[in-house]
Amino acid sequence: MRLLIIGTLDGQIGAASQIAVARGAKVSQADDIDSGLHALRSGNGADLVMVDVVLDVSALVSSLTAERITVPVVACGIGTDTRAAVAAIKAGAKEYLPLPPSAELIAAVLAAVAEESHAIVHADPRMAEVIALADQVAPSDASVLILGGSGTGKELLARYLHRKSKRAKGRFVAVNCAAIPETLLESELFGHEKGAFTGAVARRLGKFEEANGGTLLLDEISEMDPRLQAKLLRAIQEREIDRVGSTKPVKVDVRIIATSNRNMDEEVAKGTFREDLYFRLAVMTLEVPPLRDRPQDIPVLAEHFADKYAEANGVAARPLSDAAAALLRQHPWQGNVRELENTMHRAVLLAGGDHIDTDAILLNPAPGATGAAPTATAGEGDSGTAGLVGRTVADVERDLIIDTLLHCLGNRTHAANILGISIRTLRNKLKQYGEQGFSVPMPGDAERPVA
């Protein structure tokens, strides 16, 4: 992950950089907003920008928006200054981090933006077959299309291919085609020239040029607009791109890996995805099986996530009980590995005793279930969930989210990481609670809000 720090962070830049580097990030620094924007335009790129709150956060966010540069911005300031935090969030920052820097908070931000644990944990023969095939195709420069359901680990496999390739020392640049609007995605991929559109105050190099000599991941490529697919096809065929507003093509040396959670044959038949682009991408196709079809992976992944989140939350590591492991094996896992990870994160927070038992395993209802069946049997009033009987799931979820947010002093990113949900999901929930009349904690808040 690439982190760009803008400003001095009131003398805390060294500490923040050391924490980020220890968490696997590559850190660069700019003294002011103009220097930071220049770095982003020039192809150095960043997955996350941390900006000193004493600088003009609003001007930075406005410039990024006007120039179609898609990167999350986190503001940093002294202590838990609520006014500064609110001002930064209103200006467009995704989060506010208090200084001096907390290793836990910075780790949470990095984890929320890009998962840096890229090891592929597996034990099932079906997954072993996929890895073996990936080992065979990794050294080539052939385009690879990775198919599989949401949460199966397609991006992890893409990173694995890059690490095993001849381009391993080059950059791995990922673009989520589903998360960026079409009007922004073209500039994000191909860059633009000064004056190409209103707000294009300088030349900006896109992801193709950022990834030159390395690997470009086009995540969820089936969500790309057909018009842009034509331009992408030309870039792959000719190994050159046209910046928006330019008439002079630019040669690029990039290996393409694409992912999709859709049936690509059906997308081609419907006309939503170009057949010629499909064949150009699918020189080699790797399909990641759903978690339910690789049952031997379930217990090893569960233990892996239990250890991971025990360390992240500063609690003792606990093994799974036999009953809990059996419960996990029986679940259909529609959300695949991502759903299992979130389940184990919750279990670590809820578990008591020497093991993670069934009372700490809160599972999502299986598709088609007509009622909310209990996931575990409560004991004689001593279960950790006994006090929840009689309350709706929505009420319990709301209290858990708000209490976790308070525990994090209103920090959305840290709370989402602890809860095992995405920032987008958390923000949608908080918006809903606010509309229902509940007081939602702001950064710096430390008291339980009331309706």
Q: How far apart are CA 161 and CA 144, in angstroms?
A: 9
Q: What is the pLDDT of residue 90?
A: 86
How much is the pLDDT for 445? 53
pLDDT of residue 356: 95
pLDDT in tens, 243-253: 999 999 999 99
What torsion, rounded to 10 degrees, do the Cα atoms 220, 222, 224, 228 define? Answer: 120
Contact 194, 240 (CB under 8 A): no
Of the residues 88, 113, 138, the one at which a domain ends: 113
Q: Are residue 194 and residue 167 in the same domain, yes or no?
A: yes
Do 136 and 235 lie in one domain? The reply is: yes
Same domain assignment for residues 188 and 201? yes
Nearest to 66 by CA among 222, 247, 199: 199
Q: Which domain holds residue 260?
A: 125-289
Q: Is residue 432 part of a domain?
A: no
Q: How far apart are CA 159 and CA 216, in angstroms?
A: 10
Claim to verify: residue 267 and residue 302 sit in the same structural domain:
no
Report how far apart, in Å, the C-alpha atoms of 316 and of each of 348, 351, 353, 356 are.
9, 10, 10, 11
Same domain, 78 and 159: no
| Per-residue pLDDT at 446 | 47
Contacts (Cβ under 8 Å, ≥6 apart) of 358 = 321, 323, 324, 327, 375, 376, 377
Q: Please tell me whether residues 37 and 104 are part of one structural domain.
A: yes
Task: Assign residue 52 the CATH number of its domain.
Answer: 3.40.50.2300
Residues 137 and 197 in one domain: yes
266 within a domain of the structure (yes/no): yes
Tell me how far CA of residue 406 lies from CA of 88, 411, 425, 447, in angstroms. 19, 8, 17, 7
95 forms beta bridges with: 74
- How far apart (Å, rounded) are the C-alpha atoms in residues 322 and 358? 9
pLDDT attached to residue 450: 45
Residues 284 and 306 reside in one and the same domain: no
Predicted TM-score (pTM) of the model is: 0.69
The pLDDT of residue 372: 40
Is 272 inside any structural domain? yes
Q: How many CA atoms lie within 13 A of 291 on its CB side?
A: 25
Is residue 93 within 8 A of residue 442, CB to CB? The reply is: no
In this structure, the answer to whether residues 180 and 301 fall within a common structural domain is no
**Residue 149 sits in the same domain as residue 213:** yes
My answer on whether 285 and 144 are in the same domain is yes
Condensed to tens digits (0 to 9), the pLDDT of residues 206-249 reads 999 999 999 999 999 999 999 999 999 999 999 999 999 999 99
Q: How far apart are CA 321 and CA 323, in angstroms?
A: 5
Cα separations (Å) of 408 from 2, 390, 431? 25, 28, 18
How many angstroms separate the CA atoms of 3 and 167, rounded? 21
- pLDDT tens, residue order, the chain (451 aa): 788 999 988 778 878 788 888 777 788 999 999 999 999 999 887 888 999 988 999 999 999 999 989 888 999 887 666 788 888 888 888 888 888 777 767 777 776 655 445 678 999 999 999 999 999 999 999 999 999 998 899 999 999 999 999 999 899 999 999 888 888 999 999 999 999 999 999 999 999 999 999 999 999 999 999 999 999 999 999 999 999 999 999 999 999 999 999 999 999 999 999 999 999 999 999 999 999 999 999 999 999 999 988 887 778 899 999 999 999 999 999 889 989 998 998 899 889 889 999 999 988 776 555 444 334 433 333 444 555 666 777 788 888 888 888 877 677 877 777 787 877 788 888 888 887 777 788 765 544 444 4
CATH number for the domain spanning 327: value is: 1.10.8.60
Torsion of CA 163, 167, 168, 169, to 10 degrees: -170
pLDDT of residue 375: 43
Are both 282 and 210 inside the same structural domain? yes
